[in-house]
Amino acid sequence: MTFTELILQWRTEDDTRQFAVRIAHQLSTLTPEDSLFIELHGDLGAGKTTLVRHLLQTLGVMGRIKSPTYAIVESYDDIKNALYQPLNLWHFDFYRFNDPQEWEEAGFRDIFASKGIKLAEWPENAAAELPIADVAIKIVANMDESRVITVTAQTPVGHQVISKLQSFITPA
């Protein structure tokens, strides 16, 4: 298994949005039987939720997209793939997660055992519980709107997603 790593630069938030659109197009090729776990690393304010918001908007989620900072997870069950089949999607933010017992009680184990897309901010805080992510995205903010992004494929499924992304992307 080779690890693929892409290093990119977003100059403005519009570049972030364009990247989110490309990821969303990859996600819309998944079927209801597929699973994909993407973890999002980066400091407070790096742009993790912003990326997820653009991604969910591209996937057709209407209305305000809440950051799951307090609830830890927001679930979306109205997303359709390119063939108009339903896809489950969960957006986690483990910033406030500190009780491994909650993993069972809040049903997170069941979610990670389910088919669908899981996106997670602050995966470091639940590292002992989480499976290996298919794709890890690390965002480093500069003083302005620009960001340096490292996208790493960590599984064969992640590798497929990244190889399809690659053809669209001009590296930093």
Ligand X SMILES: Nc1ncnc2c1ncn2[C@@H]1O[C@H](COP(=O)(O)OP(=O)(O)OP(=O)(O)O)[C@@H](O)[C@H]1O
Q: Which residues bind ligand X (CB under 6 A)?
A: 10, 12-13, 16, 42, 44-50, 93, 95, 121, 145, 147
Nearer to ligand X, 30 or 38 (CB): 38
13 binds, among ligand X, Mg ion, none (CB under 5 to 8 A by kind): ligand X
155 binds, among Mg ion, ligand X, none (CB under 5 to 8 A by kind): none
Ranked by CB distance to Mg ion, the top (closest) residue is 49
Ranked by CB distance to ligand X, the top (closest) residue is 47
Q: Tally the residues of the chain.
A: 172
Nearer to ligand X, 48 or 159 (CB): 48
Nearer to ligand X, 82 or 127 (CB): 127
Closest approach of ligand X to the CB of residue 142, in Å: 9
Closest approach of ligand X to the CB of residue 113, in Å: 25
Closest approach of ligand X to the CB of residue 91, in Å: 11
45 binds, among Mg ion, ligand X, none (CB under 5 to 8 A by kind): ligand X
What are the residues whose beta carbons fall under 8 Å from the beta carbon of 69, sequence distance 6 or more? 93, 95, 96
DSSP letter string over the chain? -PPEEEEEEESSHHHHHHHHHHHHHHHTT--TT-EEEEEEE--TTSSHHHHHHHHHHHTT--S----TTTTSEEEEEEEE-TTS-EEEEEEEEGGG---HHHHHHTTHHHHHHSSEEEEEESGGGGTTTSPPPSEEEEEEE-SSS-EEEEEEE-SHHHHHHHHHHHTT----
Nearer to ligand X, 125 or 152 (CB): 125
